[in-house]
Structure 1
Amino acid sequence: MSILETASQKMQPTSGRKKSSFIQGDQASPLSSATLGNLIDEQGVKNGGRIATVFPWQRHSISYEQLAERSRLLAKSMLEAGLKHGDTVGIMAGNCYQYIEAFLGAARIGCPFVVFNNTYSPVELSTALAVSSCRILFLASNIGPKSLSPHMHAIQNNSTSLPDLKRIVLISQTRIDSPSVTVEVISYSAFVDNGHSVFMHKGVLRRAERRVKNTDVLNLQFTSGTTGAPKAAMLTHRNLINNGKVIGDRLEMTAEDRLCCPPPLFHCFGLVIGFLAAFTHSSTIVFPSDQFEPNQVLDSIANEKCTIIHGVPTMFLAEIEANNQKKYTFDTLRVALAAGSPVSPSLVDRIQKEMGVEKVLIAYGMTETSPVTFMTSLDDSKEMLLKTVGRIMPHTLAKIVDGKGETLPRGVPGELWTGGYALQKGYWRNEAKTAEAMTIDEDGVRWMHTGDECLINDDGYCVITGRIKDLIIRGGENISPAQVEDRLTEHASIAEACVIGVADAKYGEVVGCFLRLRDGAPKPVSDEIVQWVRAGLGSHKVPKYIFWIGEPGVGNEYPKTGSGKHQKHILRAIASRLLSQRDLKARL
C-alpha cells in the first residue's frame, strides 16, 4: 500500500462523525515520468510544423519541430560556455520568443532556469543573482518602456559579489555598454551561433541529456513570502510537466486550441498554467506583448482567433475597458481562466458578457505547489464556479487543519495544507525555510503549509475564507510587507513602519503604510516616501496610502500585542475608516 493510500485510509471518518476535510485527487491516469527534454523531442516529432508559439509583437512564430531544433542549439551553446548539469541560468526579460528557447535549452541539459521578476530594481536583481548563483544571465535591454541599463550597471558595480556569473546574453538589437572585464557580454544571436560549433557535436549533447532525471530541478521561482527574505522554490521536471498537463486537461485543451497568455513568463501563471499547459496538449500559445498591454491582448485574440484567454482580474478589467473603444466582438473564445487573486462574481459576469466567453474558470495554488492544486471545471454549477476555487487536482492531497495541525471536519475553516507530486523540492539552499513551510507527518506524507484560511465543503470544493499570511496580493503579484517595511525604515526620518494591504477596486489590494516619525526629524512629504521606496524596490511595492502615527484619527501609538507585534487587523480597519471618510468628504 502506498503512502498516499495509507494517509487516505487513516483520514476517513468513523461512523457517526462528520466527514473529514482530507481529500485526494483522482489517480486513474498515471503521472508522466518524462523530462522536459524528452517531451520537447516527442512533441517535435508528433506535431512537426504545427505552430507552438506566436509572438505578434515580435512578428515571430515557432513550430514544434523548430522549438526542438532551436532548444538543441541553445543547449549546445550553454555547454560550449562551460555549463554543467546543475549550473543555474537566469533571465530577466519580457514575454519574448528568446525566453521560451532559453528555458527549453537549459532544461535539456539539467540547468535550473531562474526567472527574475520584471519589476525587480537593480539591487533586487543583483541580490537574486547572488542567491541563485547564476552562471549565465539572459537580459533584455528594456521591458516595455523600462530600460534595464541600470540593472546592467548594478551587475558591473557588484561583479565581485557575483563570482559565479560569467556571461550576460543580451536579448536586444540595442547594445548596452559594458566595461566590465569579469562578465562577458554577448548578443543573443551570437550566443545561439555558438551552438553550431564543431566541438558541440550531437554526442556531447546526448551525453548531457542522458544525465537529466525528472526529479531534477527545472525552474527556480523566487517567492518572498511574509518574511521578506528572498527564497527560490525548486520546481522539478515532474512537478511542472504534470501540473501543466492536468491544468490543460481541466480546460479540455486540444491541438485545435489557441491560448492567449498575457501573464508574464517570470511567473508560474505564464510559464506553467500558460506555456506548459499548451505545450503538453499540442496547442498553440500566443504571447501578445512583452509586458501586459490590453489593446495588444484584444488584437491578438481577434487576429489569432484565440479560443482560451488567461489573466489575473486586473488584466480582464483593463481588457474590458479597452474594448469599450475597440468594439471587438469575439466569437472564438470558449473559456477564460482567472487566477492570482480573488475573482468577484461581477467580474465573471462582465468577462462572459463583454468578452463573449462562455465559461470563466478559477485556479488556485501557490508557487511552491507548481502552482495549481484546486481548479473549477467546465461542468461545474454556476454556484460552484462563483463561490469556490474548485475541486482538487489529480494526484494531489489536501486537508484543513487547526493551529495544532489536526485535521478538521468539512465545513470548518482552518489552514489549508496540500500534498502530492506538485510540492516543491524545497527552497534553494535554504533548509531552515523549507522546514518552516513544509511538514512530514507520521505516515511519511509531505505537506505544504499554504498560509490560507479555507474550508472544504460537503461536495469537496475548496472555499477561501481569508488569508493567514500577511502577504499583500496586488493584481496577482505577491508583496512582502516586511520587505517594504525594511525599505521604509532605512529612511532617515522614519523610526517605525507597519505595512498592510488596503482594498482596491482595480488591483484587489494595494500597499498602505503606517509610519512613525523619528524624534526631531523633518516630516517627509508623501512624494518623497514614494520615490524612496521606488528607488530600492519594484514599483508595485510603492505605498499608495501613507498614514502617520499621531495624525488625527490614527492614534498616538501603534496597536500592538502583549509581545510587541503590530496588530495589523486593527490598522487595516483604521485605514478603511479614514479612506471612507475621505471619500465622503470628496462627494460632499
Structure 2
Amino acid sequence: MEVHVSVAPSHASGSTGVPLLDETIGDNLDRTVRRFPDRDALVDVAAGRRWTYAELAADVDVLALGLLDLGITAGDRVGIWAPNRAEWTLVQYATAKIGAILVTVNPAYRSHELEYVLNQSGIRLLVAAAGFKGSDYAAMIEEVRPRCADLEFTVLLDGPLWDSLRERGAQGDPADLARAAAALDPGDPVNIQYTSGTTGFPKGATLSHRNILNNGFFVGELCGYTERDRVCVPVPFYHCFGMVMGALACTSHGAAMVIPAPAFDPAATLAAVEAEACTSLYGVPTMFIAELAAPGFDGYDLSSLRTGIMAGSPCPVEVMNEVIERMGMAEVSICYGMTETSPVSTQTRVDDSVERRVSTVGRVGPHLEVKVVDPETGATVPRGTPGELCTRGYSVMLGYWGEPQKTAEAVDGEGWMHTGDLAVMDADGYLAITGRIKDMVIRGGENLYPREIEEFLHGHPDVLDVQVIGVPDAKYGEELMAWVRMREGAEPLTAETVRAYCSGRLAHFKIPRYVHVVDEFPMTVTGKIRKVEMREAAARLLESM
C-alpha cells in the first residue's frame, strides 16, 4: 500500500498578540518622552554630546518649527546628505513631525547620482554636511543646483543657515507644530530611500510612518529592548538599518542610541561600547569581522553587551560563534529584509539555538506573512523546496516614488513583495536564504548556490572572508571563482590549494576553478557585497589571462 505524506506549503504568518502601533512617528516619540524624560536618548560620541529624551524632543521641536517657518509643509521632500551624526537624527524626527518626506541620500554619491535623486524625488530643501572623507558635498551641490528646478533651499550643517533655521524655530509658536502634527495620518509617506541599483538608476522606495515605525518597534521587541538598553549604531543612518532598526527601535522603547563615529571604525565602535556600557551592537558581518580583528580587541571591556543585530548579508558560522563567545552577545539576532519592506521581514528569536542563527534568518515577524514560490509559476512550493521569497503585510512600501510600472513589477496584485531572493522554509517555518535568483550559478546544468560554497571555504584556517561568483565558461556556460581575503601572515591560496582542501569533501562541480586573492571586496556603503561588480572585474581578469 502506497502512503502519501503531505508536506505543508512554504507559507507562514507572524504573531498578532502585540497590536500594531497606529500612530505617527512624532506622536510615538512624544509618548516615549512623557514616559522617560530624563533617560538618555542620543549620544554622539565623536562630538562629545548627549541628549535626554526631554532634551531631544525640545531640539526636534525647535527644528520642526524652523522648517515650518521656512515654508516646508506636509508632503514636501527634504533631503539629508551627511554621515552619521546627531543632526541627522534631529532632521529625521523634525521632518516626521511636520509630515515632510525625508529623502536619505547615500554619503558615497557623487554629483551625477545626487542630481538624479534631487530631481527624481523633487527635493525642496537639502540639508547636507559640507563634506566628508574627501568628498566636497558643498561643491557638488553647487555644480548640480542649476539643473535641479525643485531645489529651493540648501542648508549646510555647522553653517550659518543651520544656526538660523534653529534660531527661527526657537521663536516659533508650538501651536503651529501641534496643528501640523494633528493633520497627519500614519499611512502618510515619511521617507524615500533609494535602493542600491545594480542596474540602471536606483529606485526610491517610499515608506510610511506605519511602515517604518512598526518595523523598528517590532525589531526592538524581538531583541527584548526596554528603556534600560543602550544600542550602539555604527551602521549608516541613510539606510533602514540605521534609521529604522537603530533610531526607531530605540525611540519606540525609550532606549538610548549611541553613535560611535561618523562612519564605521572598528576601534571607535569597540571604545563606544565600553565607554557607554552598550547592551546591543549592530553591524553587517564584515563589520563584526573587522571588530574581532581589531588591534587590542581583548583589551576592550564589552561585558555590558547582551544582544545586537547582524544583517545585510549571510553570517559565516565561525563569525557568529566568535561574536557570541568573544563579544558576549549571547542573544545576537539575525535579521533579513530589504528597503522595500521597511526593512525586516524575518528575525531569529532570543531563545533560538546558535545553529538556527547561523543556518537561517529566523521566522516571520509579527503581523507579517511570508511565502516561498516557484519563480516561474508563482505557485507556493512545499516546505524544504527552494524558491523565491515573498513578503506581505504592514511593512510593504507604498511604492517606488514616481514609478508605478516598477512598483507593479515588484509588488503583485495581492500585495506580495517579490524579493528576488532564493529561500527554503523548513518544517518549523525558519527560512534559509540560499542566494539571489540572479547570483545562482548554472554550471553544466547544475544549479549552484554560492552561499553553500562560501560557508565551506570559511572553514579554511587561513581564510578571513570569501565570496563565490559565477564567471563565463565556454564549456560549462559558467564556472566558479572564489574571491578570498587572507588572514594576516597567511600564504595566499591558489586554485590548486583550494582544490586540495575541497577534494573529497565537496562535490567536484562545486569546487571553484579560479581563486582570486584580494584585500577588500567591492561593497555598497551599507556593507553589502557588490557581486555584479565582482563578476565584471572577474570577466576582465579572465580575458587578460
TM-score by length of 1: 0.75
Match of 2:157 in 1: 171
1:248-278 Cα distance to aligned partner (Å, 9 max, x none): 1111111111111110100111111111111
Match of 1:105 in 2: 94
Letter in 2 for 1:162: C
> Is the CA contact 1:103–1:113 (under 8 Å) kept in the aligned structure 2?
yes
> Is the CA contact 2:104–2:193 (under 8 Å) kept in the aligned structure 1?
yes
Match of 2:377 in 1: 404
User: 2:405 and 2:533 mapped to 1: Cα distance?
Assistant: 30
Match of 1:392 in 2: 364
Alpha-carbon RMSD across the aligned residues, in angstroms, is: 2.9
> Is the CA contact 1:37–1:108 (under 8 Å) kept in the aligned structure 2?
yes
Q: Does 1:192 align with 2:166?
A: yes
Match of 1:41 in 2: 30
Q: How does 1:411-430 map to 2 (within 5 A)?
A: 411-430=384-403
> Is the CA contact 2:111–2:143 (under 8 Å) kept in the aligned structure 1?
no
Shift, 1:550, TM fit: 9.0
> Is the CA contact 2:312–2:528 (under 8 Å) kept in the aligned structure 1?
no
Shift, 1:322, TM fit: 1.3
Q: How does 1:367-516 map to 2 (within 5 A)?
A: 367-402=339-374, 403-441=376-414, 446-469=415-438, 503-505=483-485
Gaps of 5+ in 2: 441-449, 452-468, 470-477, 488-521
Match of 2:221 in 1: 249
Match of 2:121 in 1: 132
User: 1:425 and 1:329 mapped to 2: Cα distance?
Assistant: 43
Match of 2:271 in 1: 299
Shift, 1:314, TM fit: 1.0
Shift, 1:363, TM fit: 0.4
Match of 2:461 in 1: none
Match of 1:491 in 2: none
Aligned partner of residue 416 in structure 2, secondary structure: strand
1:82-115 Cα distance to aligned partner (Å, 9 max, x none): 1121001011111111111111110011101111
User: 1:367 and 1:452 mapped to 2: Cα distance?
Assistant: 13
Match of 1:510 in 2: none
Letter in 2 for 1:263: V
Aligned partner of residue 8 in structure 2, secondary structure: coil
Aligned partner of residue 330 in structure 1, secondary structure: coil
Aligned partner of residue 254 in structure 1, secondary structure: coil
User: Quick one: structure 1 residues 168 and 379, their matched pair in 2 at CA, closer, same or farther if it must change by over 3 Å?
Assistant: same
> Is the CA contact 2:32–2:253 (under 8 Å) kept in the aligned structure 1?
no
Letter in 2 for 1:451: G
User: 1:98 and 1:308 mapped to 2: Cα distance?
Assistant: 22
User: 2:484 and 2:87 mapped to 1: Cα distance?
Assistant: 35
Letter in 2 for 1:422: S
> Is the CA contact 1:262–1:310 (under 8 Å) kept in the aligned structure 2?
yes
User: 1:223 and 1:505 mapped to 2: Cα distance?
Assistant: 27
Q: Identity percentage over the alignment?
A: 37
1:34-93 Cα distance to aligned partner (Å, 9 max, x none): 101111211111111211011110111111111211111111111111112100101111
User: 2:336 and 2:31 mapped to 1: Cα distance?
Assistant: 30
> Is the CA contact 1:294–1:319 (under 8 Å) kept in the aligned structure 2?
yes
Letter in 2 for 1:291: A
Match of 2:446 in 1: none
User: Quick one: structure 1 residues 380 and 110, their matched pair in 2 at CA, closer, same or farther if it must change by over 3 Å?
Assistant: same
1:55 aligned residue (40, 44, 49): 44
Letter in 1 for 2:13: Q
> Is the CA contact 1:95–1:287 (under 8 Å) kept in the aligned structure 2?
yes
User: 2:379 and 2:341 mapped to 1: Cα distance?
Assistant: 21
Letter in 2 for 1:460: G
Aligned partner of residue 373 in structure 1, secondary structure: strand
Aligned partner of residue 273 in structure 2, secondary structure: helix
Aligned partner of residue 83 in structure 1, secondary structure: coil
User: 2:229 and 2:328 mapped to 1: Cα distance?
Assistant: 16
1:448-496 Cα distance to aligned partner (Å, 9 max, x none): 00000001100110011221145999xxxxxxx9xxxxxxxxxxxxxxx
Match of 1:265 in 2: 237
> Is the CA contact 2:212–2:395 (under 8 Å) kept in the aligned structure 1?
yes
1:179-215 Cα distance to aligned partner (Å, 9 max, x none): xxxxxxx532221111133xx3223222211221100
> Is the CA contact 1:329–1:355 (under 8 Å) kept in the aligned structure 2?
no
1:159 aligned residue (140, 145, 160): 145
Shift, 1:153, TM fit: 2.4
Aligned partner of residue 465 in structure 1, secondary structure: strand
Match of 1:530 in 2: none
User: 2:191 and 2:296 mapped to 1: Cα distance?
Assistant: 39
User: Quick one: structure 1 residues 400 and 318, their matched pair in 2 at CA, closer, same or farther if it must change by over 3 Å?
Assistant: same
Letter in 2 for 1:120: Y
Number of residue pairs matched?
A: 468
Letter in 2 for 1:455: V
Match of 2:472 in 1: none
User: 2:352 and 2:170 mapped to 1: Cα distance?
Assistant: 51
1:308-365 Cα distance to aligned partner (Å, 9 max, x none): 1111111111111115356224211111310001100000112122223223321000
User: Quick one: structure 1 residues 549 and 425, their matched pair in 2 at CA, closer, same or farther if it must change by over 3 Å?
Assistant: closer
User: 1:80 and 1:506 mapped to 2: Cα distance?
Assistant: 55
Aligned partner of residue 409 in structure 1, secondary structure: coil
Gaps of 5+ in 1: 1-14, 176-185, 474-480, 482-497, 508-532, 556-577, 579-588
Q: Does 1:351 align with 2:323?
A: yes
User: 2:424 and 2:529 mapped to 1: Cα distance?
Assistant: 31
Does 220-229 or 448-457 show the bigger shift?
A: 220-229
Q: How does 1:530-549 map to 2 (within 5 A)?
A: none
User: 1:103 and 1:554 mapped to 2: Cα distance?
Assistant: 47
Shift, 1:394, TM fit: 0.4
User: Quick one: structure 1 residues 321 and 16, their matched pair in 2 at CA, closer, same or farther if it must change by over 3 Å?
Assistant: closer
User: 1:272 and 1:235 mapped to 2: Cα distance?
Assistant: 11
Match of 1:339 in 2: 311
Shift, 1:543, TM fit: 5.5
Letter in 1 for 2:45: P
1:232-262 Cα distance to aligned partner (Å, 9 max, x none): 1011100111111111111111111111111
Aligned partner of residue 217 in structure 2, secondary structure: helix
User: 1:202 and 1:305 mapped to 2: Cα distance?
Assistant: 36
Letter in 2 for 1:187: L
User: 2:423 and 2:536 mapped to 1: Cα distance?
Assistant: 31
User: Quick one: structure 1 residues 547 and 265, their matched pair in 2 at CA, closer, same or farther if it must change by over 3 Å?
Assistant: closer
Aligned partner of residue 359 in structure 1, secondary structure: coil
User: 1:101 and 1:506 mapped to 2: Cα distance?
Assistant: 41
Does 223-232 or 281-290 show the bigger shift?
A: 223-232
Does 159-168 or 52-61 show the bigger shift?
A: 159-168
Aligned partner of residue 61 in structure 1, secondary structure: strand
Letter in 2 for 1:247: V
> Is the CA contact 2:192–2:207 (under 8 Å) kept in the aligned structure 1?
yes
Q: Does 1:146 align with 2:134?
A: yes
User: Quick one: structure 1 residues 79 and 329, their matched pair in 2 at CA, closer, same or farther if it must change by over 3 Å?
Assistant: closer
User: Quick one: structure 1 residues 230 and 506, their matched pair in 2 at CA, closer, same or farther if it must change by over 3 Å?
Assistant: farther
User: 1:79 and 1:111 mapped to 2: Cα distance?
Assistant: 10
> Is the CA contact 2:235–2:282 (under 8 Å) kept in the aligned structure 1?
yes
User: 2:71 and 2:486 mapped to 1: Cα distance?
Assistant: 47
